[in-house]
Chains A and B, each alone.
Chain A
Amino acid sequence: MERLLDIRNLKVWYSTYRGFAKVVDGINMHVGKGEKVGLVGESGCGKTTTMKSILRVLDSRKVHIPEGEIIFKGSDILRMNYNEIQQVRRRSISMISQEPSAALNPVFTVGDQIMEVIRHSGQFDKNFSKKDMKSLAIKAIRDVLISDPERIFDSYPHQLSGGMKQRICIVMALVTPRELLIADEPGTALDVTIQDQIHRLLRSLVEEKHMSLIMITHSLGVARELVDRIYVMYAGNIVEAAKTKDLFKNPLHPYTRGLMDCVPRLSGGGVSEGIYGYIPDYINPTPGCRFYPRCPDAKEVCSRQKPPATVATENHLVACFKYN
C-alpha cells in the first residue's frame, strides 16, 4: 500500500526547568492511502504530542525536535517553510481535538468558525460566493446528523451540548476535502452512548470520503471497532504494531497484554489485575526499556538496553527482548 504519511524516528522534547522532557522517543509509524490506523496508549504517553507535531501546532518556544522526519506525500513536514506547511494545513490534513469545548472559540458563532476554515482552504475559486460557502457549511453540518443546521450555524459554542460541539469539530475537519484526518480521542469528554455515535459517524464519513485516518485513543476496544492497524505506544515509544485482528489474537508485548487485561469484562466478574505503577519520568528516562520498571516479564538486559523493534510475524512488530 502506498504510504501517505511516514513518521521516521521522530523525537519530540519539551524544555522544562529541570531539563528536556523526552516525551516522544524515536517513533516510527506510517499510514497508507485510505488506511485507518489507531494509536493506542495511556494518557501522557505522547500520543497527542506526536499528532500535533504532524501539523506543527506545538508551541515552538517550548518544544524541541532533535531528530526525525515526518514525510507526507514525499516531503518532510518538519523541514517545510511557512507557506508549504500552511498548504498542508489548509488542504491535506485536519485534526479533531480531544476537547470540543476548548477547541471552539467562545466569542464567535460556530458557523463563523466553519466559514473561516472554508475560506482559508483555498480550494474554491473566486466565483465561489459567501452564499455558496454557507450552503457548503450547512450541508456539512447536516452530514454529521444535526437536524436543524441553520440554527446551529448561528449558535455560539456555549449554547451547544458537548456532543454537538464534538460534531461541529468534525464538521470543521471534514467540510473541505482532505486526505488525512487525525482524530484525537474524539468523544472522550462525552458519555458512552454519544461517544459511540461519534465514532460510528466518524468511520462512515472517513470511508465515504476515502480518507486516511489516525485514531488516537486510550482504549483498545475503541481501536478494535474502528481501525485496520494498531500502534501501541508506551512512554514515547511504539512498543507493538500489528493489524487489529492479529493484535487481538496474539498480543505480544507485556504492556499490550496489560492493557487488554485492563478492559473490564461484562462477564467473568471482578476488576482485572491491570498494570502496576505509573508512567516514568521523561526527564531522566532509564537507558533501557521504558516499560521495564512496570514489566512483569522484565529481564536483566531490559534495564540496560533499549529493545529494538523486531518482526515477530509478518506485519507484526514488537519492541521487547522476549522476542529478540
Chain B
Amino acid sequence: MLLYISKRLFQGVFVVVGISILIFIISRVVPGDPARMALGPRAPQYAVDELRREMHLDKPLPVQYCYWFSGVIRGDFGKSINTKRPVMADVKEFLPATIELALFSGFLFIFFSIILGLLAARYRDTWVDGIIRALSYTGIAVPAFVVAVILMLLFGYVWPIIPVLGRLSSDITAPPVITGLITVDSLATGNFTAFFDALKHLLLPSLALAVGPLFQEARILRSSLTDNMGKEYISVATGYGISGSVIMRKYLLKPSFIPVVSVMGLDFASLMGNAFLVERIFNWPGISRYGINAMLNKDLNAISAVIVIFGAIFIVVNIIVDLIVASLDPRIRLGGK
C-alpha cells in the first residue's frame, strides 16, 4: 500500500511539471504582446521594451520557462498585469472562495447522489425509480449555469428568501481570515451569525454546481447496485442464509461503490474549473472567475498560475480517489492478474 501511494505521488509530480511546461508554451505562443497589452496602445515603445525586459520576454522560451518555474516553486507566479498585484496575492484571495464552494457542492452531490442511488436501486422498476430516473435525465441534461439562472430567478425574484449574490451579507462583518473559508473561519471564532449567513450564501451556487454530478452519480450508483444484485456471489451468499443486512453491507455496497467513487473524484476535481459561469452569475469572488478574466485580458502570469493550481488540485484529488478505490478493491491494491 505504501509503495502504491509513493508511486502515485511520484507520478503526480511529473504530471504537474508536464502541465507547467504545456501551459507555459501555450501562453507564450498565443498572439499578442503581453507588455503592449499591459501598457495600452498609446504607451511609448521604449516603455514597452523596458517592460518586456523586466518580464524576461526578450529571452528565448526555455530561459523564460526557467525564470518562471523557479519562481513558481517559491510560490511566486509573477505580477498580474491586470490587478497590478503579485498573482499569489490574488490567488490567496480568490482560491479559498472556490474551494469553499467546491467542498460544499461536493458534499451536496456526494450525499444526495448516494441517497438517490440507493433509493432507486432499492425500489428499482417502481414509481420511485421512475421519478428519480426522470429527474436524473433532466439534471444531467441541463447545464449548471442554466440551473444557476433558474435558481436565481426563483430565490432572488419570485421568492426571495435566500441571498443570491456574494459570500456574505453586507451588514455582517467577515470573520478574520484564517483558512479563507468563511464558514470555517466563522465557526473557529464562534461567530455563528456569520456562519449561518455564509451557509445561506453558499447554498444556491453550490446547488447549481452540484445538480449535474449529483444525478449522474445517482444513475451510476443505481446501475452498479442493480448490476451487483444479479451477481452470482449474492445468490450464493443468500443460499448460505447470510442475513440481509450483512449481504447489503458487505456483499453489495462495497463492490458497488468502486465505480461511483472514481466518477465522484473526477466530478469534484472538475467542479473548480467548471465553476466560472456559476461564479459569475452569483458574483462569487472565486478563482475560476479570476482565471477567466485573466484569459480575456491575456494576463499570462495569472493564467499560468490558475492552470497550474487547477492541475495540482486535480492531481491531488485523483490520488485521493485512487487511494479510496484501492482500499475498496483488492484487485487494484494488490495488482490483478
Contact = CB atoms under 8 A, between A and B. Distances in A.
A271 to B, nearest CB: 33
Nearest to B252: A105
Nearest to B243: A120
B251 interface: yes
A70 B50 CA distance: 95
Contacts of B241: 85-90, 120-121
A116 interface: yes
A321 interface: no
Contacts of B239: 52, 55, 57, 89, 94-95
A88 B243 CA distance: 13
A284 interface: no
Interface in B305-322: none
Nearest to B328: A107
B242 A116 contact: yes
A interface majority secondary structure? helix
Contacts of B330: 106-107, 109, 156, 158
Contacts of B334: 156, 158-159
Interface string A103-114: 111111100000
A102 interface: yes
A208 interface: no
A97 interface: yes
Contact of B337 (A59, A90, A109, A158): A158
B92 interface: no
A284 to B, nearest CB: 25
B242 A117 contact: yes
Interface string B241-258: 111001000110011001
A105 B249 CA distance: 12
B255 A97 contact: no
Given A107-B254, A117-B242, A156 B235 contact: no
Interface size classification for chain B: 20 to 34
B236 A108 contact: no
B262 to A, nearest CB: 15
A94 B255 contact: no
A170 interface: no
A108 B250 contact: yes
A140 B314 CA distance: 48
A87 B235 CA distance: 16
Nearest to A112: B250
Interface stretch (B186-194, B226-234, B296-304): B226-234
B235 A52 contact: yes
B336 A158 contact: yes
A172 interface: yes
A59 B336 CA distance: 31
Contacts of B127: none
A99 B234 CA distance: 13
B336 A103 contact: no
A307 B250 CA distance: 48
A172 B233 contact: no
A105 B233 contact: yes
B240 interface: yes
A59 B239 CA distance: 12
Contact of A120 (B125, B230, B240): B240
A263 B243 CA distance: 43
Contacts of B258: 107
Interface in A97-140: 97, 99, 102-109, 116-117, 120-121
Contact of B331 (A59, A95, A102, A158): A158
A192 B151 CA distance: 66
Nearest to A88: B241
A26 B125 CA distance: 30
Contact of B255 (A57, A102, A105): A105
Contacts of A85: 241
A68 B254 CA distance: 38
Nearest to B329: A107
A109 to B, nearest CB: 8
B237 interface: yes
Interface in B15-39: none
A250 B242 CA distance: 44
A102 B240 contact: no
B238 interface: yes
Interface in A161-211: 169, 172
10 contacts: A61-B125, A94-B239, A99-B232, A103-B236, A105-B233, A105-B251, A107-B255, A116-B250, A158-B334, A172-B236
Ranked 4 nearest A-B pairs via Cβ? A89-B241, A90-B241, A102-B232, A156-B330
Interface of A: 52, 55, 57-59, 61, 85-90, 94-95, 97, 99, 102-109, 116-117, 120-121, 156, 158-159, 169, 172
Given A57-B236, A58-B235, A120-B246, 19 more contacts: A59-B230, A85-B241, A90-B240, A90-B241, A97-B232, A102-B231, A102-B233, A104-B233, A104-B236, A105-B250, A106-B233, A106-B329, A107-B255, A107-B258, A107-B328, A116-B242, A117-B240, A121-B241, A156-B330
